[in-house]
Amino acid sequence: MNIVILGPQGSGKGTQADLICQKLGLAHIESGAILRTKAKTDDRIKQMIDSGTIVPDDETIGYIDEEIKRLGVGYENLIFDGYPRNLNQYGVLKSWLSSRSTKIDYVIYLEISDEEAVKRLSSRRTCKACGNVYNLVTNPPQGGRCSCGGELEQREDDKVEIINKRLAIFHKDTKPILTAAEADGTLRKIDGERPIEVIHNDIMKLLK
């Protein structure tokens, strides 16, 4: 089973994707993490991420393919988190999977308001040492530092002005995927402004 999980920035896609992977044994293909890893050695990619610009479609699918090959998991039982981001990428992903004799089974959309997205993301902090992610509102670190002792920082793309730019791109480019997924019969909408466990239980019910 292949799943695409969509939602505005801060909707909890990564958290829910991790929980689904643990429960169903899927491989978590997180495009954001893949691109951030690339950005460590590629200043062009880093500049695009920091400015809220979307990396070109052909590059992104290529990096995703590299990650799947690195993991050695094949093209079944994947959950795509943060990709596709626009209708063209959605078509690319469908064709790419079809050429590998598989498909998208579900597109899960986590619905939250823009106000909630800004609140969540502007409160997010990441450990410089190990990469653990905290939220000053919902999951604050004890003593103001990571459990590993590392210092926390706010990512450039979690600052309010960049968040608003990313949300505008989401509404313009990503939300049209929902119409296409609904036509494909794969779309499932979930209220993302509830407790994590409640959201997860609803997702598992619809997947069963």
Distance from C-alpha of 67 to C-alpha of 114, rounded to nearest angstrom: 31
Q: How far apart are CA 3 and CA 80, in angstroms?
A: 6
Whether 124 is catalytic is yes
Dig out the tokens for 54 from the structure. 């979307």
Q: Which of 13, 94, 120, 125 is catalytic?
A: 13
Q: Token pair 């920035």 is at which residue?
A: 9
Helix (H) or strand (E) holding 191: strand 187-191
Is 125 an active-site residue? Answer: no
**Active-site hit among 38, 85, 120, 125:** 85
> Which listed residue (46, 155, 159, 189) is catalytic?
155
**Cis bond upstream, residue 141 (ω within 30):** no
Angle (nearest 5°) at CA 72 between 103 and 91: 25
Rounded distance between C-alpha atoms, residue 113 and residue 61, angstroms:
28
CB–CB of 31/9 below 8 Å? no
36 is catalytic: no
How far apart are alpha carbons 159 and 147 in whole angstroms?
24
Catalytic site includes residue 13? yes
Instruction: State how far the alpha carbon of 129 is from the alpha carbons of 126, 133, 145, 153, in Å.
Output: 9, 11, 11, 10
Active site annotation includes 155: yes
Active-site residue (options: 38, 94, 120, 124)? 124
Q: Please identify every residue annotated as catalytic.
A: 13, 85, 124, 155, 166
